[in-house]
Structure formats: C-alpha cells, structure tokens
Amino acid sequence: DPLYDAIVTWCQGSDFWNADETTQPVFEDDDGNRDKKRWWIWVIASDDAVVYILDRSRSKEVPSEFFAGCRGVLMTDRFSSYKALHEAIKKAWCWVHQRRDFIKIYDGVPRLKKWAKEWMLEITALFLLNHERLKLWENNIAGDAWEQAQSAVEQHIQKMMAHWQEELKQPNLHKQQKKALLSLQRHWDGLTIFLLDPRIPLDNNRAERLLKG
C-alpha cells in the first residue's frame, strides 16, 4: 500500500496524463460465484508513472477524486466522466475517436461515403503533418525548420475549422453529418490544444495500450 500510494502521489504531481477505462469482469462474490456486475479498471499515466484503479463504478467520481488537487492537461476519449473534471484540468481529446465518427458514416451511409472520406483524409493529413513536427521537437531542432512545421500544422487546423464551420451553415444536412460536425465544434478546443505543447499527442493510444498489457 505505501508503494502504491507513493506512485499515485508521484503521478498526481505531473502536468500531463493519459487516461482510459475498461471493464474487468473477472471477480467472484463471497460464495465463489461469478460477480455479474461489471467492475472497471482505470489507468492514469504520467510520463514516468502509471496508476491502475479498480472500481465498481465508471462514474466521474473516480477521475474526480484522483485529479482533485491537480493542474495540467489530460488526454482521453470523449467520455463524459472526464468532461466533468474541474477547470484546472484542461481536456485534450483523441483524434482517433473523433475520426471514428466519419468511419461509421463511411461504412453505414452509402450516399455519404465521399463526404466522410474527405474528412478522413483531412484527419490523416493532420497526423502526417504533426508527425513531422514531432520529429523535429524530439530531436531538439529549432529555428526555421520548426517554425515551418508548426506553421504547416496550424494552417491545416485553420483549414479544417473553416471546413466544418462552412458545412454547418448548409441547410438540409443529413442527421449523421450534422452529428459529426457538431461534435467537432463541441470538442474543437480540446482537439487543438496540442498546438500549444508538443508533448500532447493526437491520440490516446498510450493509455489504451497500458490496458492491454
């Protein structure tokens, strides 16, 4: 317990985390029967500490208790429990989850395939541009090369924002189009917070992998 508590405290002292949660259906009741109520395993990871929390709940109380005295940026999917965290925790939303909105439309609404593919390609381009930016940052390359890479990502983000803003003005949008575009609008600040800090990835893959070890 003291070691676990020390890891928790160390992790809470960071200013950037990944987090995720998944079901943990392996418990038994006192009589040895399988517990049919789903438990949850949460993972919260800073750069150098990983905390796992087992809980009966998937409610906001779990992350709210962990982050009660923390300040920083949290990368997650768009699950409501993370949205309920206090304002000192800035939310960075995962672009992979955002992209899934368009994949579902591509797979499920034949007449919107072309439209959905255009958005999927725009998101792919964002990942490619940010990958080049990230390589420069990891290799401590500054100057003109960094400024050009940063500018390229910023310009693409501005293009994407203008795209969804213009499309939301169009009448007679399909309900699935409108749903996906409104989600972009609603989560835009968190989807673009990575521009301010190269440590912030575009996806939450690290947390998901830590749940699949």
Residue with tokens 């395939």: 113
Residues above pLDDT 90, as percent of the chain: 88
**Average pLDDT rounded to a whole number, residues 62-74:** 97
**Average pLDDT rounded to a whole number, residues 79-102:** 97
Tokens of 91: 């939310």
When pLDDT is cut at 50, 70 and 90, the band that residue 142 belongs to is confident
**Which pLDDT score is estimated for 57?**
87
Q: How many alpha carbons lie under 13 Å from residue 141 in its C-beta half-sphere? A: 14
**Which pLDDT score is estimated for 130?**
97
Q: Look up the pTM and report it.
A: 0.91
Residue 101 pLDDT more than 80? yes
**Which pLDDT score is estimated for 163?**
97
**Which pLDDT score is estimated for 28?**
74
Give per-residue pLDDT as tens, 15-61: 999 999 999 877 777 777 776 777 899 999 999 999 999 998 899 99
**Average pLDDT rounded to a whole number, residues 78-99:** 96
Instruction: For the beta carbon of residue 17, count every other beta carbon within 10 angstroms.
Output: 28
**Average pLDDT rounded to a whole number, residues 159-176:** 96
Residue 131 pLDDT more than 80? yes
Q: What is the mean pLDDT of the chain?
A: 94
Rounded Cα distance between 210 and 213, Å, is 6
Rounded Cα distance between 139 and 17, Å, is 22
Rounded Cα distance between 113 and 103, Å, is 9
Tokens of 190: 């968190």
Q: Which amino acid is at 172?
A: N
